[in-house]
């Protein structure tokens, strides 16, 4: 045994210079896949699309016992994880689920499991996740395709969209939420399972949950609770993410979402939302009185109504500037998305989400970018704070929204004055050469 | 039993459309209560002022045992909390304190307990909290009334002041710090009990404590300490919030405060402060040498002295601008607080805390707002960092203070140049119509 | 005993007004020590340089048992710590290491131990730390001297550099990482041991580790792991800081650093870095496949390459402005570092790290400061995020880098226009009087 082990390790070391298995000339997946290239790490975020087995790996076809024997020395952490899992000891006389079940047995043709692989055994959960697609985006099930199929994905600087896919991979692999190789539901019930992705702008779920009374109590005492219990009322003093968003462990988080992540100004009282409101209140009343639950949901409605009033005012300011041709660069002076080649001839400036402006970080005027950030950062932050009961952050978020509106109002006035002065002096510059072909545009698109 | 339970649940479900019990046309409390309206959630933040029993609730007068029997199914979390509490098993042969003691027994006349209710049994703690009023504001005891009795409360946009009251409710209910319904002192001794409110600007106690050596050790090891022990020296390796601020559990945090939350430039060596300094050092010397304790307090003095030198310089710049009539809008060109109607005739611009400018977020010039934020955010953040021993944040805070002073200095110069140019060109605009009656002002006041 | 104890306590209380032992007129250490004065707390951050025994302390020469007898009442926390330490019970029949071994026995000549003191017994660890000096700065071993021996240390406002030394004291005392007086390796293996210093800009190790999948799992479960185990593979489900950076507990963190804290644009494939890359990959492959480990390191390379392209573009913009004499103040118009007196005659503007601009917070033009912050805050934050696997922060960091480049580009254009207009109007102002002798410069240097 020792000899064989040593041989395998030697082989592994010899392979030290091996590159990632992904094809060197791999192209992106999705609608615009011809226009961008994946980074090496994408292989691990979307294994179904990019993973290629390592042809220089140790050769052989192994049983689970053989895998474990060798990897207990090479990578003991994952073997320990598996040994602690139900896969190793399913009970009821069932056979253990060993390495080959998920990775294959041929060491030069190993794969990383996709949700479909996991769904072969865990069909109910997989079905539930896929069911989210009915509710549209944002949802976990559509996270990857709606990311790479957006036009700005092709256009945005690579480091940002690459990093975005790390979390959007929740749609293409199950270990975004579940620890490999232990896969214990007790882990996934805790907030940390969700927060590797759900933190920071534009979705500070981490920061707002932990600042709430719920989160504080979890932080102080959660380490001592018995997380093997199911997520039903009476089992936990306060809810974790999954308690409210994955009712009784259901792998579908979309059927309770009224405000759509805070992205849209919705009517919270549509027929569909009235049904969702009942689901929402039903969660709260596991612990709270119904009147109190209703009052908090109305507080969220009020927060959104007030936020959108500010956003609408900012958007109106921008539309007025556009109408008076004061945006710089204007549509037609900046590059259209590569995929919107016809906009070279019929340029169209989009302002705000409803006109289809899903991203305005780049190649837009400063004031448009400021508005985009007001919507995507300040407003979404305030929304999450209100939804999670982090009131100090609601206050801070609305102060920030006001500051953004102030900035935009002042900038709009300055633009009016500046342009008037420039026109009077006859020295208005055509920005098109700078934006459409300059260093900035080139930099954005380079190596996508 | 089962039948009756089912009936009660059915009744509760039927009441699903019930609104909060608060009167629909409730007016605010406090000096300016006629000028603003509470949000529905206020009922739960200041129950003494706003709570009205639910008239559509299940009818009946119940014993504690009956309450528990039903609510163990309806809301088991709070029943579990109560069962773990000393209220359920006070020991020494005393009778349990059951639901009716705090909420009443008539299910259509239930109340939420106020500090006075809790004080009926916990008189010592209640007296201690009320004693804070002697020391003025900031203090817990005055948190609610000093919030709603400020003039800017009426004037500021609703989402911000509403959210502020969530924490200022510490004066009007005891479960801001204590978990309902367990009320275990072991919980309140831990920092998380305080930090639902004490986080974020302008009071980053959370962020600064946890970045200190004290906080780091708590984070690593605090979960294993025996929190049932009283807060006296030798019982804990590092202090929590309550250890230093609520000496031996005393519910009075005001008698050690020298720097008044960082809000004021105080003389740290007044007779009163000399007494407070001894109390402060006495806490530190539970664990540290006296010389070291003195050195750290002097480090805080130095930090404050240096911060105030920067704030004073910024304030001087603003006063000079005011003297030269360069602020835009100036006092008289913007709306006075609604309650200061006489300032329509005798307008008075306030710059800085000592002139009574407790809030300058709104309806002020950009440079005044920048100064207000420098004082309220950057300076207070640096103070908390110095007081809690989070030195990296002291450095960052002072870098931010310098940046703010830079911004203000540059803006002041620009204002001087711009105004000179405008005056030379004879085109100085009167801002009064914009600020006093424009969309901005209306937006602020709407629906208060 | 009780009588004697009471006497000692009385004596301690009488000494209540004692100042820190540090000489009142102490001068700074290091190259520029004549130009700045330490704050009182420096005594505890660099005891070898500043500590002076308290001459008013209780008099006497005490055995360890006597120290403990008295201090168990006076400061029980540290006595408890010591009792839990291996110092108190080294095993194998060895004598306990008592108070006097580290502090001395004469109560009026007590000292605080330096790394050399600790190294007398823990020679291997001390040697390892000193060995970091071979790799230059940043490193723990050079943290203090490279801080106080920089020219900007003398020039920067005191509150910032004072606070910086709190953490840079890692070179001058061992309890920056180890809790006094327990000194348990089990504590130092946990991330919190490192994060009192390694948090916030410019080194958000805290924020990026805890946002990674590694950190999240530590947060959820780390409290239950057996930290007495050594840091070798298989012992922990995820790595802590020390696992990767202090391989098997070695007190030398510099031999794996390729990117030098993100400060420099390095060639990651030099002969030296190729060796370091193997060390890096060797750590990852404790748990991960080699191809995946290589892919992640390449993702870091890509992140850096993309960040430096943005930084280079910003630096070029500044160099162009300098070439055209558009920076305000220019070199020669602002004060040189006090120690660079010859630059009064041969002024030299430095732009960027490679020209020796290690700090450009102060006495520089706004656009230079913006670039400095882009490099020191945005870029370093993105680097740490990429290195620790916090992808959401990589995305945010690069959005911030782009925003900074936008700001700089717009400001550069505005400077060109403004200066052209000023020159045309013949009213270009000489900034030298303002910057070289004005309030700003005085404020910076005051009381250093």
User: What backbone phi and psi angles, to 5 degrees, belong to A61?
Assistant: -115, 125
User: Residue B126: which residues within 8 A CB-CB, separation 6 or more?
Assistant: B115, B116, B118, B119, B251
Asked if residue A421 belongs to a domain, the reply is yes
Mean pLDDT is lowest, of A38-42, A86-90, B361-365, C65-69, for B361-365
- What secondary structure, in 3-state letters, does chain B show? CHHHHHHHHHHHHHHHHCCCCCCCCCCCCCCCHHHCCCCCCHHHHCHHHHCCCCCCCCCCECCHHHHHHHHHHHCHHHHHHHHCCCCCCCCCCCCCCCHHHHHCCECCCCCCCCHHHHHCCCHHHHHHHHHHHHHCCCCCCCHHHHHHCCHHHHHCCHHHHHHHHHHHHHHCCHHHCCCCCCCCHHHHCCCHHHHCCCCCCCCCHHHHHHHCHHHHHHHHHHHHCCCCCCCCCCCCCCCCHHHHHCHHHCCCCCCCCCCHHHCCCCCCCCHHHHHHHHHHHHHHCCCCCHHHHHHHHHHHHHHHHHHHHHHHHHHHHHHHHHHCCCCCCCCCCCCCCCCCHHHHCCCCCCCCHHHCCCCCCCCCCHHHHHHHHHHHHHHHHHHHHHHHCCHHHHHHHHHHHHHHHHHHHHHHHHHHHHHHHHHHHCCCCCCHHHHHHCHHHHHHHCCC
Evaluate whether A19 touches A87 at the Cβ level (below 8 Å): no
What distance in Å separates the CA atoms of residue B153 and residue B291, rounded to the nearest whole number?
Answer: 44
Phi-psi region of B232 (alpha: psi -120 to 50; beta: other; left: phi over 0): beta
What distance in Å separates the CA atoms of residue A166 and residue C267, rounded to the nearest whole number?
Answer: 26
pLDDT tens figures, A222-262: 999 999 999 999 999 999 999 999 998 999 998 888 998 89
What are the beta bridge partners of residue C61?
C106
For chain A, positions 276-295, list CB contacts with chain C under 8 A. Answer: none
Which DSSP category does C333 fall into? T
Tokens of B446: 């709407």
* Domain range for A343: 290-447
Q: What distance lies between CA B151 and its chain's CA centroid?
A: 17
pLDDT in tens, chain C (448 residues): 444 544 444 444 433 444 446 777 788 889 888 888 888 899 999 999 999 988 888 999 999 999 999 999 999 999 999 999 999 999 999 999 999 999 999 999 999 999 999 999 999 999 999 999 998 888 999 999 999 998 878 777 777 778 889 999 999 999 999 999 999 999 999 999 999 999 998 899 999 999 999 999 999 999 999 999 999 999 999 999 999 999 989 999 988 889 988 988 989 999 999 999 999 999 999 999 999 999 999 999 999 999 999 999 999 999 999 999 998 888 778 777 777 778 878 888 788 887 877 777 777 888 998 999 999 999 999 999 999 999 999 999 998 998 899 889 888 988 898 888 888 888 777 777 666 665 556 655 554 5
Closest residue in chain B to residue A283, using alpha carbons only: B75
Asked if residue A70 belongs to a domain, the reply is no
The answer to whether residue B426 scores a pLDDT higher than 80 is yes
Asked if residue C429 belongs to a domain, the reply is yes
Closest residue in chain B to residue A214, using alpha carbons only: B196
**Residues on chain B touching C163 (C-beta within 8 angstroms):** 391-392, 394-395, 398
Predicted TM-score (pTM) of the model is 0.92
Q: How many CB atoms lie within 10 A of CB C123?
A: 10
User: Residues of chain B with pLDDT > 90: what percent?
Assistant: 62
Asked if residue B188 belongs to a domain, the reply is no
Residue (of B377, B385, B381, B333) closest to B359 by Cα position: B377
- Cβ pair C366:B410 closer than 8 A: yes
What distance in Å separates the CA atoms of residue C36 and residue C190, rounded to the nearest whole number?
Answer: 36
The whole-angstrom distance between C384's CA and the closest CA on chain A is 13
Mean pLDDT of chain A: 88
Residue carrying the six token digits 């009033």:
A309
Give me the long-range contacts of B358-361 (CB less than 8 A, separation at least 24). B358/B150, B358/B152, B359/B150, B359/B152, B359/B156, B361/A399, B361/A402, B361/B156
* Facing C294 at nearest CB: one of A20, A159, A182: A20
pLDDT tens figures, A186-216: 999 999 999 999 999 889 999 999 999 999 9
For chain B, positions 124-163, list CB contacts with chain A under 8 A. Answer: 157-163
The answer to whether residue A146 scores a pLDDT higher than 50 is yes
pLDDT tens figures, B208-224: 999 999 999 999 999 99
Evaluate whether A162 touches A351 at the Cβ level (below 8 Å): no
3 state DSSP class of A435: helix
pLDDT of residue A344: 78
pLDDT of residue C143: 95
The whole-angstrom distance between A273's CA and the closest CA on chain C is 30
What distance in Å separates the CA atoms of residue B349 and residue A84, rounded to the nearest whole number?
Answer: 68
Evaluate whether A198 touches C346 at the Cβ level (below 8 Å): no
What distance in Å separates the CA atoms of residue B150 and residue B155, rounded to the nearest whole number?
Answer: 9
pLDDT tens figures, B294-326: 999 999 999 999 999 999 999 999 999 999 999
Peptide linkage before C383 cis (omega within 30 of 0): no
CB of C439 less than 8 A from some CB of B: yes
Residue carrying the six token digits 């007086």:
C181
Evaluate whether A146 touches A27 at the Cβ level (below 8 Å): no
What are the beta bridge partners of residue C162?
none
Evaluate whether B192 touches B184 at the Cβ level (below 8 Å): no
What distance in Å separates the CA atoms of residue A122 and residue A253, rounded to the nearest whole number?
Answer: 17
What distance in Å separates the CA atoms of residue B115 and residue B132, rounded to the nearest whole number?
Answer: 14
- Cβ pair A159:C302 closer than 8 A: yes
Predicted confidence band of residue B444 (pLDDT cuts 50, 70, 90): low
- Cβ pair C233:A439 closer than 8 A: no
pLDDT of residue B157: 75
The whole-angstrom distance between A164's CA and the closest CA on chain C is 6
Number of domains in chain A: 1
pLDDT tens figures, A148-157: 998 888 777 7
pLDDT tens figures, A51-76: 998 888 899 999 999 999 999 999 99
Spell out a b/e string for B152-161, using b for 16 or more CB atoms within 10 Å of the CB, else e: bbbbbbbbbb
pLDDT of residue A446: 55
pLDDT of residue C6: 46
Give the mean pLDDT of B408-433: 83
User: Sign of the CA dihedral A360, A366, A368, A371?
Assistant: positive
Chains that touch C (3 or more CB pairs under 8 A): A, B
Residue (of C119, C132, C387, C86) closest to C251 by Cα position: C132
Asked if residue A435 belongs to a domain, the reply is yes
* B147 HSE (CA, 13 A, CB side): 22
* A277 HSE (CA, 13 A, CB side): 19
What distance in Å separates the CA atoms of residue B205 and residue C175, rounded to the nearest whole number?
Answer: 24
Asked if residue C331 belongs to a domain, the reply is yes
Q: How many CB atoms lie within 10 A of CB C419?
A: 17
Q: How many CB atoms lie within 10 A of CB B349?
A: 20
Closest residue in chain C to residue B215, using alpha carbons only: C196
Q: How far is CA C350 from CA A153, A277, B322, C37, in A?
A: 38, 60, 38, 27
Residue (of C39, C99, C49, C90) closest to C71 by Cα position: C99
Asked if residue B97 belongs to a domain, the reply is no
**Residues on chain C touching B217 (C-beta within 8 angstroms):** 179, 187, 192
The whole-angstrom distance between B195's CA and the closest CA on chain A is 7
Closest residue in chain C to residue A19, using alpha carbons only: C291
Q: What distance lies between CA A206 and its chain's CA centroid?
A: 13
The answer to whether residue A39 scores a pLDDT higher than 90 is no
What distance in Å separates the CA atoms of residue C391 and residue C397, rounded to the nearest whole number?
Answer: 10
Mean pLDDT of chain B: 88
* C344 HSE (CA, 13 A, CB side): 7
Asked if residue A368 belongs to a domain, the reply is yes
Q: How many CB atoms lie within 10 A of CB A77?
A: 20
Spell out a b/e string for B206-238, using b for 16 or more CB atoms within 10 Å of the CB, else e: bbbbbbbbbbbbbbbbbbebebeeebebbbbbb
For chain B, positions 314-373, list CB contacts with chain A under 8 A. Answer: 361-362, 366, 369
CATH code at position A386: 1.20.850.10
pLDDT tens figures, A269-282: 999 999 999 999 99
Helix intervals (H) in C86-122: 99-103, 115-119
* Facing A295 at nearest CB: one of B20, B159, B443: B20
């Amino acid at each position: 045994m020792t000899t064989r082990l040593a041989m395998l390790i030697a082989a592994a070391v010899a392979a030290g210079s091996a590159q990632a298995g992904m094809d060197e000339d791999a192209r992106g997946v999705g609608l615009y896949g011809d226009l961008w290239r994946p980074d090496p790490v994408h292989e691990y975020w979307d294994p179904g699309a990019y993973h290629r087995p390592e042809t220089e790996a140790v050769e052989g076809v192994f049983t689970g016992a053989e895998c474990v024997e060798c990897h207990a020395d090479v990578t003991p952490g994952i073997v320990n994880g598996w040994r602690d899992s139900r896969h190793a000891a399913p009970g009821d006389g069932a056979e253990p689920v060993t390495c080959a079940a998920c990775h294959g047995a041929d060491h030069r043709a190993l794969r990383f499991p996709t949700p479909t692989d996991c769904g072969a055994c865990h069909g109910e959960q997989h079905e539930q996740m896929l069911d989210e697609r009915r509710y549209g985006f944002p949802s976990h099930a559509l996270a990857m395709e709606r990311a790479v199929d957006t036009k700005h994905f092709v256009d945005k600087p690579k480091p940002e969209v690459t990093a975005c896919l790390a979390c959007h991979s929740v749609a293409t692999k199950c270990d975004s939420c579940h620890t490999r190789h232990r896969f214990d539901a007790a882990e996934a019930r805790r907030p940390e399972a969700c927060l590797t992705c759900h933190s920071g702008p534009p979705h500070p779920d981490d920061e707002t949950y932990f600042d709430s009374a719920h989160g504080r109590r979890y932080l102080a005492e959660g380490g001592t609770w018995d997380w093997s219990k199911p997520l039903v009322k009476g089992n936990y003093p306060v809810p974790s993410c999954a308690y409210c968003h994955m009712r009784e462990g259901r792998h579908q988080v979309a059927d309770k979402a009224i405000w759509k992540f805070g992205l849209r100004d919705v009517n919270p009282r549509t027929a569909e939302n009235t049904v969702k409101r009942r689901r929402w209140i039903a969660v709260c009343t596991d612990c709270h009185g119904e009147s109190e639950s209703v009052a908090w949901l109305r507080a969220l409605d009020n927060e959104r109504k007030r936020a959108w009033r500010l956003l609408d005012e900012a958007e109106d300011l921008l539309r007025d500037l556009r109408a008076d041709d004061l945006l710089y660069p204007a549509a037609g002076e900046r590059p259209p998305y590569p995929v919107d080649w016809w906009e070279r001839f019929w340029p169209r400036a989009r302002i705000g989400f409803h006109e289809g402006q899903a991203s305005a970080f780049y190649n837009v005027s400063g004031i448009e970018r400021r508005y985009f950030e007001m919507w995507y950062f300040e407003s979404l932050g305030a929304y999450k704070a209100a939804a999670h009961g982090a009131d100090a952050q609601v206050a801070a978020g609305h102060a920030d929204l006001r500051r953004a509106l102030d900035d935009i109002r002042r900038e709009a006035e300055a633009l009016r004055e500046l342009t008037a002065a420039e026109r009077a002096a006859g020295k208005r510059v055509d920005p098109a050469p700078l934006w459409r072909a300059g260093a900035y545009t080139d930099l954005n698109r380079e190596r996508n």
